[in-house]
Amino acid sequence: MTEPTSSNQRPRPVSNGVKKYLLTIDSENAPGTLYHIAGTMLRKKINIESLHVAEVDPKTHTSRFKIEIIVSPELIATLTKQIERIVEVVHAEYRESK
């Protein structure tokens, strides 16, 4: 999120307490999992900055989602708890991103 600036200035980050976080989610590799995760973020009007999904264990059909988002510390904690309630999700955690 950036504030509008004149054309000769670089965009400045909005300083209202939001930070960039990396949300890591391990889940069963099942159809619709991304839909459920994205729907949770959509309801909270969170924009996904970056998304990477890969299968981490072919034997157990486990996938890992790495999602970068810019939100407040309170919202990332709430969001992580909500995502962990999704049936296919095995584990979710977050950390501040660089």
Least trusted range by pLDDT, from 7-16, 58-67, 72-81: 7-16
- Nearest Cα neighbor of 23 from 4, 57, 47, 3 is 47
pLDDT tens digits for 33-68?
A: 999 999 999 999 999 999 999 999 999 999 999 999
In whole angstroms, what is the distance from residue 5 CA to residue 11 CA? Answer: 6
pLDDT of residue 71: 96
pTM for this entry: 0.81
Could you state, in order of their start, the residue ranges of all structural domains in the chain? 16-96
Does domain 16-96 correspond to CATH entry 3.30.70.260? yes
Phi-psi region of 45 (alpha: psi -120 to 50; beta: other; left: phi over 0): left
Cα–Cα distance for residue pair 26/93, rounded to 1 Å? 9
